[in-house]
């Protein structure tokens, strides 16, 4: 196997795909070209950090349209907070926002 540097973002995606799939760890790692030990290292490392989604109760799409006539997503956060954003809100900005709220 060629040695490759794995980014945090890439590993988050791979771990999410593995957790949502039905393949064994061995099968998944072989197909993705990553060693089992590297995959397990990153899974332990990322699980040790507080999850961005901790404190979330549920995620619901808004049933109505915003004032501008655009669809929204509605996030029900802990402590009764509700966050409404347009469905086309940039994912990177949403991640920054959620990280800020989790502090």
User: How do residues 12-70 score in pLDDT, each as one tens digit?
Assistant: 989 988 888 889 999 999 999 999 999 999 999 888 765 555 555 555 555 554 455 56
Count other Cβ atoms within 10 Å, centred on residue 46. 14
Q: Residue ranges of the domains in the chain?
A: 8-48, 58-101
Please determine, for residue 2, whether its predicted confidence score (pLDDT) is greater than 80: no
Rounded to the nearest 10 degrees, the angle between the axes of helix 25-32 and helix 8-20 is 140
Question: What are the E-state strand segments in 1-103?
Answer: 58-65, 71-76, 82-86
Please determine, for residue 101, whether its predicted confidence score (pLDDT) is greater than 90: no
- Kindly report the average pLDDT of the chain as a whole number: 78
């Amino acid at each position: 196997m060629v040695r490759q540097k794995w980014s945090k973002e890439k590993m988050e995606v791979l771990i999410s795909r593995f957790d949502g799939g039905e393949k064994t760890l061995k099968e998944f790692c072989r197909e993705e070209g990553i060693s089992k030990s590297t995959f397990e290292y990153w899974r332990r490392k990322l699980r040790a950090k507080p999850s961005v989604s901790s404190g979330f109760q549920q995620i619901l799409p808004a049933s109505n349209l915003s004032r501008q006539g655009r669809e929204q997503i509605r996030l029900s956060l802990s402590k009764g907070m509700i966050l409404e954003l347009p469905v086309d809100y940039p994912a990177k900005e949403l991640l920054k926002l959620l990280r800020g709220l989790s502090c």
